[in-house]
A = this chain, B = another copy of it.
Amino acid sequence: MPETALSDRARNTPQSPIRKLAHLAIQAKKAGTHIYKLNIGQPDIKSPREYFDGLRLFDEEVVAYEESQGNENLCKAWSKYINRTLGIHTRPEQFLITVGASEALMFTFMACCDPGDEIIIFDPTYANYLGFATISGIHLVPVLSDMDNNFALPARSSIAGKITDRTRAILLCSPNNPTGTVCSREELRLLFDLCEEHNLFLILDETYREFVYDDLEPFSIFNLESESNRVIVIDSLSKRFSLCGARVGCLLTTNEEVLAMTLKFAQARLAAPTMSQFASAYMLENIKDDFLEGVKNEFRIRRDALYSNLKDIPGVIAHKPQGAFYTVVQLPVADADDFAAYMLGEFSHNGKTVFIAPAAGFYMQQFQGRQQARFAYVLNKNDIEEAIRVLSAGLESYARR
């Protein structure tokens, strides 16, 4: 009897470029090497006290299903929080609470697209978009953003040139994972107008909205277009409040049909986690604005430490990112995948090494980004400085090997 074969879509789903070297890291750790993990967007910032306080206030005897559309108080608190911080006017009924932004993206893809339909994205892109697309049978059509131009939004004509009769949406993450680039209001306006012209959805992944530095202020597509039925915002508490493991995200839109359709998907999976939603509602109601100010300041310090130490390494090309907590850096190696594996599998410096995410897996287009890696500046200043010293030693050793 032959083995029962698995589906093509399972075989074609790409491995996460962030996690695919994890087995080497496990071995290095077992061998006693300290690993500076710059590969994954898992901040070391303490989760807010208010989240844990909220959990302790849960006094139901049964951990029952939450409503499929989400905890009512959480929708209210999130809407209030967004309205207060952005000066806009969302309503709680416009929220669908999801298991992280991941599920919100998945629901959005499925609501907007049938298999074979296309969504335009910008290369390099958040790698898991590719996973969701393969799962749901959607073609992501990449428009290359240029490292030499600090990964700014490509020209209108480059984007328009990719629109076909199967295009259903344009998806943008800003502030961007993996590049750290922040879209300007003018660029967002251009994208929205393009969507208007071609009758497309505009999906904005605003997971990192508050993480903008220097003279930038956080803003949302809702600041430009608060009532358009073609706008779908994806949001998450994971990064902003260092609650990656809480798995609380949302989809936000004024489009009632999108809400009704994604609610059907939400009903099929029953509900998002009950206690985590309860605690998140309490946290959003009670947290002070200085929490985020403190976090933002800390990330700015880390960004500066990363950039100023990276830029002096011979052969490294780095830009100063303006948002999120990532940057894509060019390394003086032919194959960053091989170098990243070398760092984990063969190299250590004073018992330490660095885990970076090779950038090729963030590009939809083949043969792009082979010399690049994504760095997540999620460690404190001292650790980042030491990590870059170790990386520099690793590059030298790799070149000599």
Contacts and interface: CB of A to CB of B under 8 A. Distances in A.
A10 interface: yes
A10 B261 contact: yes
B264 A10 contact: yes
Nearest to A197: B1
Interface string A261-281: 110110111111111100000
B245 A271 contact: yes
A362 to B, nearest CB: 14
Contacts of A276: 273, 275-276
B16 A268 contact: yes
A257 interface: yes
A68 interface: yes
Contacts of A262: 10
B65 A42 contact: yes
A2 B199 contact: yes
Contacts of A215: none
A376 to B, nearest CB: 12
A246 B268 contact: no
Q: How large is the interface on A (under 10, 10 to 19, 20 to 34, 35 or more residues)?
A: 35 or more
Interface stretch (A95-103, A142-150, A288-296): A95-103
A44 B42 CA distance: 37
Contacts of A196: 1
A342 B4 CA distance: 48
B270 A273 contact: no
Contacts of A3: 229, 257
Nearest to A133: B268
A270 B100 contact: yes
A242 interface: yes
28 contacts: A4-B201, A4-B229, A6-B112, A6-B257, A9-B114, A13-B261, A13-B268, A15-B267, A16-B267, A19-B267, A42-B65, A47-B61, A47-B63, A51-B63, A62-B242, A65-B244, A65-B245, A99-B273, A103-B269, A115-B115, A115-B137, A137-B137, A244-B270, A244-B271, A245-B273, A246-B273, A247-B273, A275-B276
Interface of A: 1-4, 6-11, 13-16, 19, 40, 42-47, 51, 55, 61-66, 68, 99-100, 102-103, 106, 110-115, 117, 128, 131-132, 135-137, 168, 196, 199-201, 229-230, 242-247, 257-258, 261-262, 264-265, 267-276
